[in-house]
Structure 1
């Protein structure tokens, strides 16, 4: 079981933030140096205009405040990410229902497919595809409005057991007029890992990764 909830920003976003902050800090240092040299070499008989000097000090304070704000925002983002990662750890070893068009099939196991119809349909077709996009199992589904599930035993149309892996699901439905009915799809699985990927918390179900915010519900052990 792998848990990589680091809560750190993605390498790309982190690099961009460091570059921006570095540039801002460099501008701040340059501004401070120029202001110091200007005061040092000003003509005693014609000192720096008070209004101009005040304006430069205001700019100086603004740059300093921007750097401070950047640092605090970085800390806040990191803190928030850490909190999210810690919260997501609660999903470990739990059975969840997630919004997904993919499913995980363990070796010798089965996979549960969820789908919902917003209205009655005349015909519903459940198609399971392998990694290459080839249909391996086609079944008729429920046609009544509401939430439904289909437990796939892991075999193809000929009854041959398929290898474990991530499979795709396509569920189509048409009404009595032959018009398409929108179908929502999902799956059920046990969360085996939590990790941060590109700034987004991901849950792993076997080799299937799903966003933590795609969780629709958590099942009791007695319901799993």
Structure 2
């Protein structure tokens, strides 16, 4: 449904804004397309000015310059929007090659896919006495705890998708937390991530993200890319 908004007349000229379509400079139309409206505005302004104090020529010229400047600013913004849209399109095409590849990414979440498994990557800054990997559901509950490696360095572990009672969990996004402690009970510095197959690419408000099932990973969080190994090999 078309709606209109009106303002008080300015120098005898009514202003009407129709949301269903563009009007004047607000609609990014050129000066040529709105020239009739401009002439009406100019005529009414001249008719309503004080004869004893007419507008000075430099003030009148200034108004013309401002009018044209506003139009150019809108046109420039439109061209910039077009360039940004084109750039995003080119970037999207450039990352399509990620689809089908296996990537490792920094993440506090993982995707339990249709295979019923999810791969966790983590790194210990030093040797630990104990390493626990807690799998957390959407409600914040720990569904199971895995025993991790205690040697310093990078490690990988596969969660079989089951909770502590051995029941299979449904597919989707889960959080996980790697907790490593040394012999004194002090926390060992860790980094954590996930590994999975890229199933798609999307643009989220101009930011390109890779889809690992239901999990979205920004490109700047990707640490490695490799060919996906055939399940039969």
TM surpasses 0.5: yes
The answer on 1:138 being equivalent to 2:133 is no
Distance 2:83 2:63 in 1: 30
Matched, 1:88 2:95: yes
Count how many residue pairs are aligned between Structure 1 and Structure 2: 205
After alignment, is 86-95 or 21-30 more displaced?
21-30
Q: Greater relative contact order: 1 or 2 (C-alpha under 8 angstroms, separation 6 or more)? A: 1
Distance of aligned partners of 1:51 and 1:23 in 2 relative to their CA distance in 1, 3 Å threshold: closer
Match of 1:79 among 64, 83, 86: 86
TM-score normalised by length of structure 1: 0.73
Gaps of 5+ in 2: 1-18
Q: Counterpart of 2:4? A: none
The structure whose residues are more often helix, as a share, is 1
TM-score, structure 2 as length reference = 0.71
Distance 2:24 2:140 in 1: 47
Give, in whole Å, the separation in 1 of the partners of 2:91 and 2:151: 38
Paired residues of 1:96 and 1:219 also in contact (CA < 8 A):
yes
RMSD between aligned alpha carbons? 3.5
Give the equivalent residue in structure 2 for 1:102.
Answer: 109
Alignment of 1:1-224 (within 5 A): 25=26, 32=38, 33-38=40-45, 48-221=55-228
Higher Cα Rg: structure 1 or 2? Answer: 2
Kept in 2, the 8 Å contact 1:88–1:212? The answer is no
- Quote the Cα distance in structure 1 between the aligned partners of 2:210 and 2:50: 67
- Shift in Å, 1:217: 1.3
